[in-house]
Structure 1
Amino acid sequence: MNVLVADNPARRRFEILVDGGLAGFAAYLVRDGLLVFTHTEIDPAFQGKGVGAQLAAAALDQVRERGEKIVLECPFMAAYVQRHTEYQDLVVER
């Protein structure tokens, strides 16, 4: 399984491609210089296969590399960060 996670700023979302096809995305808004994660969606064909976790980790790694901070309005991303405390330093509480 070939996996790629890329930011798509035109659609305001991080997308995960599996074998070249869109398998899911994590949508965001930009407010006050922060990335606000609002919704994550994984294609039902890929649920339960770790695709959501790969998307979350890669998106958060890219946010960190760019030196940005996030707000978590998306329950999936919030739960992921709660379980993976190494990303909590990226979170800004509002």
Structure 2
Amino acid sequence: MSQLFKKALLLGLGVTVLIEETMEKIAGELAKRGKMTTEEARKMAKDLVDEAKKEIESVHQKGIKGLEKVFSDFHVTTKKEFEDLEKRVKDLEKAYKDTK
């Protein structure tokens, strides 16, 4: 499960970098052609990249919530729940051994 999240996060970061590079190229071309100043082009690129980052984060969060719901619906134990149960079993085993 955590591998899936890591891959999704890396994919989102890769897309963000690609979008940022593409927007900088487009902004540079517009500035060269005189359609806007270099500063306007940089601001436009930054604004678009910031918006793309927000959208990617939103999609990522929705994906996580969706997976959590699916796991919950199918009664899949989370890693934390499993670790908590494992600790309780160890504590009970120790308590049992101490009573002997």
Q: TM-score scaled by structure 2? A: 0.32
Q: Which has the larger radius of gyration?
A: 2
Structure number with the higher strand fraction is 1
Scaled by the length of structure 1, the TM-score of the pair is 0.34
